[in-house]
Amino acid sequence: MTPGPDRLPFFVYGTLRPGGRHHARTLRGRTASEEPATISGALLYDGPGYPYAVAGPDDARIHGALITPRAADHDGVRRTLDLLEGYTPGGRDNLYERVETEAARSDGRTVRAWVYLAAEPLATRLRATGTPVEGGDWPAGGPANLEGSSRNEDPSGTGNPSRTEGPSRKEGPSRTAEQV
């Protein structure tokens, strides 16, 4: 059975990777498989506590994991990740956009997957003044240190306590626009 277009696996590259604080909270026990993967055509930028991916040149690569939710959990996982990433389908004020991409597994096979990319105008600011993550693998050296502390405030300004980190949709990253 081929999954429908909305039932794709997810390519994750930051705190949602296995070992990351958001993986444990949102994905643990809800996945059918988790495996190393990469995507091309996107760049990774360092953010306050987590990275941002933005569309980039074809030869740019981001390292992460391909997460396939269990069939019974897929819709719930998608809703949870959309909420965490500040994404509303068709929304005009999204922090991230959920887009289809081609993820490469470690054996070289590729699969269509969802990935969350920074929405405009944040992506434009990151391209202009952000700090790229060298090698496209966050944090440096891989996800070993992802179980960091999680802020309890709601910097998104949405009044949504389930979104425990992330820049305000109005303000951009926690750093000023000039610093990004």
SS3 of residue 75 by DSSP: helix
pLDDT, tens only, 107-161: 999 999 999 999 998 999 999 999 999 999 998 544 544 444 332 222 233 333 3
Helix H segments across 101-157?
Answer: 122-129
Identify the three-state secondary structure at position 84: helix
Q: Which residues, at least 6 apart from 25, have a Cβ–Cβ distance to it below 8 Å?
A: none
Read off the pTM: 0.78
